[in-house]
């Protein structure tokens, strides 16, 4: 079959052709970018924290009328209160381990700074300085969070000190994540010295853990796992405890926490948000990402349906208009399959024009999103899949009206002129 | 004639049920998606203090040097040293400073457990500058700021919780084991976004419950519950006093300036202040100050969540596609009736009548789409919580203006979309149509 008669016929229906092509182009542009956004969000949500997230929960509590850090003996008193809490939590049935910690991955509350291989260096130039998040905890931190040690050693009880929350003193030793260690010391970090926040005191790296995400969920991959662990309990009028329970006992232990802590000391604030499983922390951190993915998914789905329905509607109209011509073609010897192919090729031509414009629009929209939001360049694979999907949808949508056209009997040609 | 065409329109809705249903659904989905995302966008991008947003400025002074700044911008709040010095200078009509606190409240008498009240340590100018309405009493006096008095203003909600809504002015309240005398109870006041404390990321936070004098909060060593940014390489030793007077940034400051000349004069004063600090050896760089009014500050801090903007744009794009689809379907619908149009034209109907009839018919389709869109919008309001944080999702609601807007947008958009198909319908040649039948 030659294309000439199809093109000639299309010229008679300019408006309809332009509308369908435009609709396909716009749909392709939006769907490509929306699916790309969905992909990115899902990728972010699936980023590993490095923790063993099951059977883990976090307690956040604040003491009422605790001594200030700056009154004499205040820090020691606060530390004694914290140790009492830790002892009470460690004694609860079904608790595997407990660690005091200033924050958690995905918690969105962080203590950040600069870590360098040279003293007095805080300017983020070159590879010798990078940003990091500090986690302050004790010797129980690795088993409690389920973080795996890959080099050196873990903290032991003798390493752990305690200090006021605002006390800016540098520690003697630290554990780094592998991401951070590899950045600073490509040939092994254990035993080397790092300098924190532009300080001059060497801090010895005693171990490297496989992976531990920073508290901020939205960061790019280049900072997402830059964590430094410091063996210190921070003393302030509030404290956080990470608790690991035996498998399947999470809910029971979480229920037992409040009474146990009130028994130690009733002068404290514990509310609904105080005891949260890691699952809840994760859900809260990624709520917007997941919501965005769902919205984009729904919009894409409806868009594709609307576009397909539009093609069905307009093609049906054309089939109705050309009822007689089809009859004439059939009477002149065209087979049913020829009529079917005619409409299918016609649709392919229109959709083909649409997707060419759509690819340009999709790239343009992506460029615009890149310049205004944190977006990356859309991979060719997404656009190609989009193109194929649009052509397939066009073919699927045109099939029903085209089959109806192919069923027009040749006798129509002989009816009244 | 209008009523008659409207009736014709309603009747024609039933004529091609599949085609019509398709159009109505396309318009319904398109308008609903746009309205849901718009309702959120409207809520987060509004002017939180209309009428005064151009007179309130936040004050920023670079205290740590260009090498630590992002694109040359000074830190987003002041140090204790700068904030207290600038407020004490009283160079603006009104000036206030604040930091976020979260003291525990110990309810009296009954057995209920202590809870946390979120609030701000600030000064008396805060209430006048930000137009805080009062239910009982009022702001504390300037002398209370100077005298570092143990006074407090509580919110309507906290007053309800502690005193069952009675006039509690003059009564005592215990915050972090210190006793404070209540001088005022605010009426409900919760501007969104909370422009005055974007520093701590509280744009859409829970309502504030207590306000107490800044100097008093410092005296009792109340810690900031907000951000505390000691990002620079300044070794200030340890202990509270060192921290207080160190280069840690944690105090947002606001001034009220009546007009542009006043703002220019204040900017000069700030530059002068920074230059003085440079001379004194505290700053080792040229003065770098900013004076940002409320809207400028909201823009700079990008308060409107990117989710809101992107979803609004996606929804609008979606609506445009639905309209393109509607143009095509209306074209099919109208052109099917070429014969009918031919008859009307042959019987003497001018083109204008054809236009009128078909545009009104399109408006009927739009209205049906709008009604469907309204139902979907109402349904979608429950789903908003999926997409946005709860504190943002709760800002979106279906009110009279949104209902009117949904219907209006649906009808107007459909009529606009109908112009081309109607033009084609009006161009129908009566003779051809009559001949072919």
- Tens of pLDDT, residue by residue over A169-219, are 889 999 999 999 999 999 889 999 999 887 888 999 999 999 999 998 877
Q: Give the C-alpha distances (Å, rounded to integers) separating A350 from A9, A11, A311, A326.
A: 12, 12, 10, 20
- Mark whether A101 and A205 lie in a shared domain: yes
Q: What number is the ipTM of this complex? A: 0.75
| Closest partner CB to A302 (pick from B18, B29, B306) | B29
- Mark whether B12 and B86 lie in a shared domain: no
- Tens of pLDDT, residue by residue over A102-135, are 999 999 888 888 888 988 776 666 677 888 899 9
- Sign, CA dihedral B253-B257-B263-B269, equals negative
DSSP state of A407: T
Q: Rounded mean pLDDT of B69-90? A: 90
CA distance to partner chain A, nearest, from residue B40 (Å):
14
Cβ under 8 Å to B: A residues 257-276:
266-271
A314 in any annotated domain: yes
Range list of β-strands (E), B110-267: 115-116, 119-122, 134-137, 151-154, 172-175, 178-186, 210-213, 249-251, 253-256
Lowest mean pLDDT among A366-370, B117-121, B246-250, B394-398: B394-398
B57 in any annotated domain: no
- Mark whether A39 and A70 lie in a shared domain: no
Note whether A299 contacts B315, CB cutoff 8 Å: yes
- Mark whether A89 and A189 lie in a shared domain: yes
| Closest partner CB to A70 (pick from B239, B307, B388) | B239
Provide the mean pLDDT of chain B: 88
- In percent, the amount of chain B with pLDDT more than 90 equals 46
Per-residue pLDDT band at A417 (split at 50, 70, 90): very low
d(Cα A23, Cα A358) in Å, to the nearest integer? 9
Q: Rounded mean pLDDT of A364-384? A: 88
Query: What are all long-range contacts of B247-250, with beta carbons under 8 Å and residues at least 24 apart?
Result: B247/B63, B247/B64, B247/B79, B248/B79, B248/B80, B249/B63, B249/B64, B249/B75, B249/B76, B249/B77, B249/B78, B249/B79, B250/B77, B250/B79, B250/B80, B250/B99, B250/B199, B250/B224, B250/B226
Best of B218, B232, B328, B376 to substitute, by most chain A Cβ atoms within 10 angstroms, is B328
- Mark whether A196 and A159 lie in a shared domain: yes
- In percent, the amount of chain A with pLDDT more than 70 equals 98
Domain count, chain A: 2
B341 in any annotated domain: yes
B397 in any annotated domain: yes
- Tens of pLDDT, residue by residue over B1-18, are 788 888 888 888 788 788
B294 in any annotated domain: no
Q: Is the pLDDT of residue B437 over 60?
A: no
Cβ under 8 Å to B: A residues 296-325:
296, 299, 302-303, 306-307, 309-310, 313-314, 316-317, 320-321
B325 in Cβ contact with B27 (< 8 Å): no
The answer to whether A18 contacts chain B (CB < 8 Å) is no
Give the relative orientation of helices A4-11 and A336-372 as an angle to the nearest 10 degrees.
Answer: 60
Q: Is the pLDDT of residue A338 over 80?
A: yes
- Tens of pLDDT, residue by residue over B263-278, are 999 999 999 999 999 9
**Residue B55 main-chain phi, psi, to 5 deg:** -105, -10
pLDDT at res. B237: 58
- Mark whether A232 and A138 lie in a shared domain: yes
Question: Concatenated DSSP letters for A235-252?
Answer: ESSEEEEEEEE-TT-HHH
Last residue of a domain, one of B238, B256, B274: B256
pLDDT at res. B436: 56
A16 vs B contacts (CB less than 8 Å) = 328, 331-332
A243 in Cβ contact with A136 (< 8 Å): no
Domain count, chain B: 2
CA distance to partner chain B, nearest, from residue A306 (Å):
6
A278 in any annotated domain: no
B203 in Cβ contact with B158 (< 8 Å): no
| Closest partner CB to B114 (pick from A269, A287, A374) | A269
Closest residue of chain B to A284, computed from CA coordinates: B389
pLDDT at res. A126: 61
- Mark whether B87 and B228 lie in a shared domain: yes
pLDDT at res. A50: 92
Note whether A310 contacts B221, CB cutoff 8 Å: no
| Closest partner CB to A317 (pick from B114, B236, B336) | B336
The answer to whether B69 contacts chain A (CB < 8 Å) is no
Range list of β-strands (E), A138-274: 149-152, 161-164, 173-177, 193-196, 203-209, 227-235, 238-245, 268-269
- Tens of pLDDT, residue by residue over B183-200, are 999 999 988 889 999 988
- Mark whether B95 and B129 lie in a shared domain: yes
- In percent, the amount of chain B with pLDDT more than 70 equals 96
A273 in any annotated domain: no
Helices then strands, counting H and E runs in chain B, come out as 16, 15
DSSP state of A176: E
Lowest mean pLDDT among A25-34, A120-129, B378-387: A120-129
- Mark whether B98 and B208 lie in a shared domain: yes
Distance of CA A381 to the CA centre of its chain: 20
For chain B, report the end-to-end CA distance as a whole number of angstroms: 28
pLDDT at res. A302: 87
Note whether B314 contacts A296, CB cutoff 8 Å: yes
The answer to whether B41 contacts chain A (CB < 8 Å) is no
- Mark whether A136 and A91 lie in a shared domain: yes
The answer to whether A70 contacts chain B (CB < 8 Å) is yes
Provide the mean pLDDT of chain A: 89
A277 in any annotated domain: no
The answer to whether A40 contacts chain B (CB < 8 Å) is no
| Closest partner CB to A26 (pick from B68, B317, B327) | B317
- Mark whether A307 and A245 lie in a shared domain: no
- Mark whether A93 and A199 lie in a shared domain: yes
- Mark whether B43 and B71 lie in a shared domain: no
d(Cα A252, Cα B59) in Å, to the nearest integer? 50
Last residue of a domain, one of A266, A296, A321: A266
- Tens of pLDDT, residue by residue over B359-374, are 999 999 999 999 999 9
Domain that includes residue B371, residue range: 2-47+305-436
Per-residue pLDDT band at B235 (split at 50, 70, 90): low
A54 in any annotated domain: no
A279 in any annotated domain: no
d(Cα A283, Cα A45) in Å, to the nearest integer? 9
Note whether B221 contacts A268, CB cutoff 8 Å: no
B280 in any annotated domain: no
Q: Rounded mean pLDDT of B204-223? A: 91
**ω into residue A399 within 30 of 0, thus cis?**
no
B403 in any annotated domain: yes
Per-residue pLDDT band at B205 (split at 50, 70, 90): confident
Range list of β-strands (E), A252-322: 268-269, 275-277
Best of A32, A263, A269, A318 to substitute, by most chain B Cβ atoms within 10 angstroms, is A269
Closest residue of chain B to A294, computed from CA coordinates: B387
Closest residue of chain B to A131, computed from CA coordinates: B231
Note whether B104 contacts A62, CB cutoff 8 Å: yes
- Mark whether B43 and B67 lie in a shared domain: no
The answer to whether A251 contacts chain B (CB < 8 Å) is no
| Closest partner CB to B328 (pick from A16, A270, A291) | A16
Dihedral in degrees, nearest 10, Cα atoms B46, B47, B51, B56: 180
- Mark whether A31 and A149 lie in a shared domain: no
- Tens of pLDDT, residue by residue over B22-48, are 889 889 999 998 998 888 888 888 888
- In percent, the amount of chain A with pLDDT more than 90 equals 53
- Mark whether A251 and A308 lie in a shared domain: no
- Number of cross-chain residue pairs from A and B with Cβ atoms under 8 Å apart: 150
- Mark whether A298 and A227 lie in a shared domain: no
CA distance to partner chain B, nearest, from residue A284 (Å):
8
Q: Is the pLDDT of residue B236 over 70?
A: no
Q: Is the pLDDT of residue B397 over 80?
A: no
- Mark whether B320 and B236 lie in a shared domain: no
- Mark whether B9 and B83 lie in a shared domain: no
Q: Is the pLDDT of residue A221 over 60?
A: yes
A162 in any annotated domain: yes
- Token pair listed for B165: 């809504």
d(Cα B373, Cα B312) in Å, to the nearest integer? 16
The answer to whether B429 contacts chain A (CB < 8 Å) is no
A237 vs B contacts (CB less than 8 Å) = 223
- Mark whether B178 and B231 lie in a shared domain: yes
- Mark whether A89 and A230 lie in a shared domain: yes
- Mark whether B99 and B212 lie in a shared domain: yes
The answer to whether A406 contacts chain B (CB < 8 Å) is no
- Mark whether B340 and B246 lie in a shared domain: no
The answer to whether B22 contacts chain A (CB < 8 Å) is yes
Note whether A292 contacts B317, CB cutoff 8 Å: no
Q: Is the pLDDT of residue A339 over 80?
A: yes
A188 in any annotated domain: yes
Last residue of a domain, one of B223, B256, B289: B256
B296 in any annotated domain: no
CA distance to partner chain B, nearest, from residue A273 (Å):
12
| Closest partner CB to B318 (pick from A270, A271, A299) | A299
Note whether A64 contacts B176, CB cutoff 8 Å: yes
d(Cα A183, Cα A128) in Å, to the nearest integer? 8
- Mark whether B89 and B165 lie in a shared domain: yes
Domain that includes residue A30, residue range: 4-45+286-414
Note whether A122 contacts B233, CB cutoff 8 Å: yes
A371 vs B contacts (CB less than 8 Å) = none
Q: Rounded mean pLDDT of A367-373? A: 85
């Amino acid at each position: 079959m030659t294309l000439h008669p199809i093109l000639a016929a299309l010229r008679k229906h300019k408006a309809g052709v332009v509308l369908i092509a435009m609709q396909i182009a716009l749909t392709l542009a939006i769907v490509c970018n929306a699916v790309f956004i969905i992909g990115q969000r899902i990728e972010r949500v699936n980023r590993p924290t490095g923790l063993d997230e099951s059977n883990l929960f976090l307690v956040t509590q604040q003491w009422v009328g605790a001594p200030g850090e700056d009154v004499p003996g205040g820090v020691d008193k606060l530390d004694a209160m914290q140790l009492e809490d830790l002892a009470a939590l460690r004694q609860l049935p079904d608790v595997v381990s407990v660690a005091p910690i200033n924050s958690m991955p995905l918690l969105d509350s962080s203590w950040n700074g600069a870590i360098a291989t040279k003293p007095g260096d805080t300017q983020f130039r070159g590879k010798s300085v990078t940003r990091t998040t500090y986690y302050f905890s004790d010797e129980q931190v690795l088993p409690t969070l389920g973080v795996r040690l890959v080099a050196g050693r873990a903290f032991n009880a003798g390493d752990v000190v305690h200090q006021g929350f605002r006390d800016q003193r540098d520690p003697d030793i630290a554990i780094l994540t592998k991401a951070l260690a590899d950045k600073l010391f490509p040939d092994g970090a254990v035993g080397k010295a790092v300098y924190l926040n532009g300080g001059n005191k060497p801090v010895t790296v005693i171990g490297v853990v496989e992976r531990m995400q920073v508290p901020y969920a939205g960061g790019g991959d280049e900072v997402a796992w830059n964590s430094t662990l410091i063996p210190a309990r921070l003393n302030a009028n509030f404290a956080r405890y990470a608790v690991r329970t035996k498998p399947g006992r999470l809910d029971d232990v979480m229920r037992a926490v409040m009474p146990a802590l009130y028994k130690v000391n009733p002068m404290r604030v514990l509310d609904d948000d105080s005891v949260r499983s890691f699952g809840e922390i994760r859900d809260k951190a990624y709520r917007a990402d997941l919501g965005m993915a769902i919205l984009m998914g729904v919009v894409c789905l409806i868009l594709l349906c609307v576009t397909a329905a539009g093609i069905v509607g307009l093609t049906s109209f054309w089939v109705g208009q050309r009822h007689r011509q089809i009859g004439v073609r059939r009477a002149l010897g065209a087979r049913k399959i020829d009529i079917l192919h005619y409409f299918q090729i016609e649709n392919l031509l229109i959709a083909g024009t649409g997707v060419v414009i759509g690819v340009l629009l999709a790239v343009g929209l992506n460029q615009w999103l890149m310049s205004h939001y944190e977006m990356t360049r859309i991979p060719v694979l997404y656009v190609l899949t989009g193109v194929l999907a649009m052509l397939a949808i066009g073919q699927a949508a045109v099939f029903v009206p085209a089959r109806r056209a192919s069923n027009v009997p040749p006798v129509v040609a002989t009816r009244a002129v | 004639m209008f009523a008659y065409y409207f009736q014709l329109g309603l009747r024609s809705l039933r004529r091609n049920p599949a085609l019509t249903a398709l159009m109505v659904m396309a318009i319904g989905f398109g308008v609903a998606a746009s309205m849901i995302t718009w309702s959120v966008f409207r809520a987060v991008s509004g002017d939180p203090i209309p009428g005064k947003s151009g007179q309130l400025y936040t004050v920023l002074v670079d205290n740590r040097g260009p090498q630590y700044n992002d694109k040359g911008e000074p830190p987003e709040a002041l140090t204790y040293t700068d904030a207290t010095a600038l407020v004490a200078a009283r160079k603006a009509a009104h000036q206030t400073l604040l930091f976020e606190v979260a003291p525990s409240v110990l309810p009296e008498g009954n057995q209920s457990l202590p809870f946390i009240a979120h609030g701000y340590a600030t000064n008396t100018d805060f209430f006048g500058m930000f137009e805080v309405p009062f239910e009982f009493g009022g702001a504390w006096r300037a002398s209370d700021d100077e005298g570092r008095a143990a006074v407090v203003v509580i919110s309507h909600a906290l007053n309800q919780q502690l005193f069952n809504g009675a006039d509690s002015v003059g009564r005592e309240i215990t915050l972090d084991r210190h006793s404070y005398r209540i001088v005022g109870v605010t009426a409900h006041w919760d501007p969104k976004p909370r422009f005055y404390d974007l520093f701590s990321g509280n744009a859409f936070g829970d309502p504030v419950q207590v306000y107490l004098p800044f100097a008093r909060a410092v005296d009792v060593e109340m810690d900031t519950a907000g951000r505390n940014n000691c990002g620079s390489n300044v070794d200030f030793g340890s202990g509270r006093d060192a921290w207080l007077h160190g280069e840690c940034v944690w105090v947002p400051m606001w001034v009220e300036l009546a007009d542009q000349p006043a703002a220019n004069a204040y900017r000069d004063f700030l530059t002068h202040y920074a230059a003085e600090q440079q001379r004194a050896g505290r700053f080792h760089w040229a003065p770098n100050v900013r004076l940002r009014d409320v809207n400028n500050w909201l823009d700079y801090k990008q308060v409107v969540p990117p989710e809101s903007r992107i979803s609004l744009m996606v929804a609008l794009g979606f609506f445009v596609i639905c309209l393109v689809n509607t143009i095509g379907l209306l074209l099919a619908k109208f052109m099917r009736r070429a014969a009918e149009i031919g008859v009307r034209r042959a019987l003497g109907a001018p083109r204008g009548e054809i236009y009128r009839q078909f545009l009104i018919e399109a408006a009927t389709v739009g209205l049906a789409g709008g009604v469907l869109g309204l139902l979907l919008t109402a349904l979608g309001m429950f789903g908003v919580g999926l997409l946005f944080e709860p504190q943002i999702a709760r800002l979106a609601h279906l009110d009279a203006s949104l209902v009117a807007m949904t219907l209006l947008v649906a009808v107007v958009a459909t009529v606009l979309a109908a112009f081309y198909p109607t033009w084609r319908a009006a161009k129908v040649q009566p003779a051809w149509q009559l001949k072919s039948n």
